[in-house]
Amino acid sequence: DRMAVHNSDLFRLQATSAETNVLNVASSLGMGCLAMTKFVKGSPVAEFIKQQLRARNIRFEGVEVEQGGPWGFRHQFNIDDFDVERIFGHEGVGILHISGLIAAMSPETTQCCLALAEAAKRYGTLVSFDLNYRATFWEGREAELSAAFHALASCADILVGNEEDFQLCLGFK
């Protein structure tokens, strides 16, 4: 009820993200949506996230990974290997949305986002790219991410960002 955390003993848990919020808009309009992610096997948090996605009429897929010990993975990840032939070629996904947060998270997520965008274009799927600049993700990787974001932007049919995003990600003056 908008109290400070230390003043309350009752909390409400929600599972959401910028990416699934984008899907929520489309699913609310009756469009089929698929969240491509990865979950921690046997995790109650992962099960909660799956339930929340189902409640929002959002399908999900991705492998489950082992917990990795008591301090290992604690929640789902938004990156994995996917059957792009099935998703784009056979199921005919209409639009792929990529967040700059995921694209900048690590060299592996950058490459995955590029591969997904390129695969989507090969199959005629529209690509939406939200630049979503975060300085801490770019630190020490500026040249690499600048090139990757230019490549992703060149694949994008819909490019989302504020003035700062366009300046910092794509070099607009």
Partnered with residue 64 across adjacent β-strands are: 39
Q: What is the pTM of this model?
A: 0.76
Instruction: Give the pLDDT score at 62.
Output: 85
Q: What is the dihedral of CA 144, 145, 147, 151, to 10 degrees?
A: 140
Neighbouring C-beta atoms of residue 44, cutoff 10 Å: 8
Query: In whole angstroms, what is the distance from residue 77 CA to residue 123 CA?
Result: 25
User: From the DSSP assignment, how many helices (H) and strands (E) are in the chain?
Assistant: 8, 7
Q: What are phi and psi of 98, to 5 degrees?
A: -125, 135
State the residue for tokens 């489950």.
64
pLDDT at residue 75 in the model: 58
Mean pLDDT, the chain cut into blocks of 10 residues (173 residues total): 83 82 90 89 88 94 81 60 89 92 92 94 96 96 98 97 96 92
**Integer angstrom CA distances of residue 170 from 64, 93, 108, 135, 159:** 35, 27, 20, 14, 11
